[in-house]
């Protein structure tokens, strides 16, 4: 009987599916991601590396689901959250190129609800002291996260509570979002504090709607996604494609991965926000985002299609905070980074622990999605995971190690 039981257990273990092997394009990257998606790591990953315009690594690792029943695919669909911000920024810069928007336009010129801004000057959320803003809120402030909106932080608890009362995240449209936000006093004068948050880019997305004359999601579809053949990118995943959406995990209280407690985690492919969020609402794939990033690396061009001019892309990838008097660290993250129009700019690779070139541009998403564009190396590297990190006992952040292994593999 014991021998029979042993045989049955052995057969069951042998029958557990293994993820399909993927031929390594860059072996050092391949080894690292196989290890990172092992039994004690992330459920799965997709990595795409484009060098000198050619794909040199395109591979899937592990699984799409916690049950480890659906192997990860290179066309698996991820919630890219804040990597959406770069897309929204490109949309705005298209309108700047066309002369329909200017970086130094007052936001109130296009969105009158922001015509009478006030600044929180003290008191409490119950009895705030307000004064009129003396600086003009501009489009540039939105793109560089220096608008002064309440967005948390030490010393700004009362004004952040006023923002929370408006429940801007529950807005059912971008117009509703900006109407709610305009009722909240600024935390600081525009241009005097970098505070990374979704708020500025949601306002920017509403600007794109108003100035561009199309609903935001239609503008992106017509002007960016269709020209770049980004067929799997959008705010909702069609029912026919939802089997490709990767499960969203987080760390459970017992130190194991569990499904995140989000409506769109329970119903993969459903909207991430009630409105089309330019700050964090997109689903996408490595291939789709790779074409978008390569377009930026190529100076705004994709084949015979020109989305932006090279000078515009160069401006986006320049540190816009270099001439400001903002307190250090300027970006609130690290003195190793500045911020351009739509993403971070690497200023000191050694301080950041990166082997990349000075001027590398990129950003990440809340659920562990990452991209970098290194113009000096002619490199795009994308790593897509699907995990919402929590405290210190969580899975290790692996983006820097991934980027460095890509550089190691490509450097002669």
Same domain assignment for residues 48 and 124: no
Same domain assignment for residues 178 and 35: no
Percent of the chain clearing pLDDT 70 (strictly above): 94
Residue 97 lies in a domain: no
Q: State the pLDDT confidence band at 275, using cuts at 50, 70 and 90.
A: very high
Residue 341 lies in a domain: yes
Alpha-carbon span 384 to 78, nearest angstrom: 7
Residue 373 lies in a domain: yes
The residue with greater pLDDT, 24 or 132, is: 132
CB–CB of 236/107 below 8 Å?
no
Same domain assignment for residues 122 and 72: no
Sheet of 387-388: strand order equals 257-259, 249-251, 387-388
Q: State the pLDDT confidence band at 4, using cuts at 50, 70 and 90.
A: very low
| Domain final residue pick, 211, 232, 248 | 211
Buried b (16+ CB within 10 A) or exposed e, 177-216: bbbbbbebbbbbbbbbbbbbbbbbbbbbbbbbbebbeeeb
Residue 141 lies in a domain: yes
Residue 5 lies in a domain: no
Q: Indicate which CATH number applies to the domain containing 131.
A: 1.20.58.710
Q: What is the pLDDT of residue 121?
A: 95
Task: Read off φ and ψ for residue 391, nearest 5 degrees.
Answer: -85, -160
Same domain assignment for residues 224 and 360: yes
Q: State the pLDDT confidence band at 51, using cuts at 50, 70 and 90.
A: very high
Count of structural domains, the chain: 2
Same domain assignment for residues 199 and 258: no
Same domain assignment for residues 244 and 380: yes
Same domain assignment for residues 207 and 221: no
What mean pLDDT value characterizes the chain?
92
Residue 96 lies in a domain: no
Q: Rounded to two decimals, what is the model's pTM?
A: 0.93
Is it the case that residue 133 has pLDDT exceeding 60?
yes
| Domain final residue pick, 161, 194, 211 | 211
Q: State the pLDDT confidence band at 9, using cuts at 50, 70 and 90.
A: very low
Same domain assignment for residues 326 and 346: yes
Mean pLDDT of 213-237: 98
Alpha-carbon span 308 to 94, nearest angstrom: 6
Q: State the pLDDT confidence band at 152, using cuts at 50, 70 and 90.
A: confident
State how far Cα 10 lies from the chain centre.
44
Q: Indicate which CATH number applies to the domain containing 377.
A: 3.40.710.10
| Domain final residue pick, 211, 233, 255 | 211
Q: State the pLDDT confidence band at 328, using cuts at 50, 70 and 90.
A: confident
Residue 147 lies in a domain: yes
Same domain assignment for residues 380 and 242: yes
Residue 331 lies in a domain: yes
Buried b (16+ CB within 10 A) or exposed e, 131-140: eebeebbbbb
Structural domain containing residue 333:
21-87+217-410
Same domain assignment for residues 243 and 319: yes
The residue with greater pLDDT, 324 or 11, is: 324
Q: What is the pLDDT of residue 296?
A: 98
Same domain assignment for residues 178 and 248: no
Same domain assignment for residues 185 and 232: no
Q: What is the pLDDT of residue 18?
A: 55
């Amino acid at each position: 009987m014991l021998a029979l039981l042993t045989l049955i257990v052995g057969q069951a273990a042998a029958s557990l599916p293994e993820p399909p092997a993927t031929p390594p394009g860059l072996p050092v990257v391949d080894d690292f991601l196989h290890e990172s998606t092992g039994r004690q790591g992330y459920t799965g990953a997709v990595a795409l590396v484009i060098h000198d315009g050619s794909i040199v690594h395109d591979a899937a690792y592990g699984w799409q689901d916690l049950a480890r029943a659906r192997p990860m695919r290179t066309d698996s669909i991820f919630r890219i959250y804040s990597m959406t911000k770069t897309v929204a920024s490109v949309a705005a810069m298209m309108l700047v190129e066309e002369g329909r928007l200017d970086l130094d336009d007052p936001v109130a010129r296009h969105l009158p609800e922001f015509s009478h801004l006030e600044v929180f000057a003290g008191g409490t959320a119950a009895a705030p002291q307000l004064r009129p803003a003396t600086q003009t809120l501009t489009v540039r402030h939105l793109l560089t996260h220096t608008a002064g909106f309440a967005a948390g932080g030490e010393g700004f608890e009362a004004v952040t509570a006023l923002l929370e009362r408006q429940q801007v995240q529950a807005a059912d449209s971008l117009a509703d979002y900006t109407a709610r936000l305009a009722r909240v006093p600024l935390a600081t004068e525009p241009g005097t504090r970098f505070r990374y948050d979704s708020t500025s880019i949601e306002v920017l997305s509403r600007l794109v709607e108003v100035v561009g004359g199309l609903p935001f999601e239609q503008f992106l579809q017509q002007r960016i996604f269709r020209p770049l053949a980004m067929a799997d990118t959008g705010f909702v995943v069609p029912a026919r494609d939802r089997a490709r959406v990767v499960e969203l995990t987080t760390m459970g209280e017992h130190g194991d991965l569990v499904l995140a407690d989000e409506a769109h985690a329970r119903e993969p492919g459903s909207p991430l926000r009630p409105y089309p969020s330019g700050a964090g609402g997109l689903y996408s794939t490595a291939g789709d985002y790779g074409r978008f990033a390569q377009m930026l690396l190529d100076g705004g061009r994709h084949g015979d299609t020109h989305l932006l001019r090279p000078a515009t892309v160069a401006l986006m990838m320049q540190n816009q905070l270099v001439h400001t008097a903002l307190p250090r660290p300027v970006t609130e993250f690290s003195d190793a980074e500045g911020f351009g129009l739509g993403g971070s700019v690497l200023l000191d690779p050694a301080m950041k622990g990166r082997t990349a070139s000075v001027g590398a541009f990129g950003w990440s998403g809340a659920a562990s999605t990452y991209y970098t564009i290194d113009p000096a190396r002619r490199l795009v590297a994308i790593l897509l995971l699907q995990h919402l990190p929590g405290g210190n006992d969580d899975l290790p952040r692996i983006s820097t190690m991934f980027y460095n292994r890509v550089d190691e593999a490509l450097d002669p």
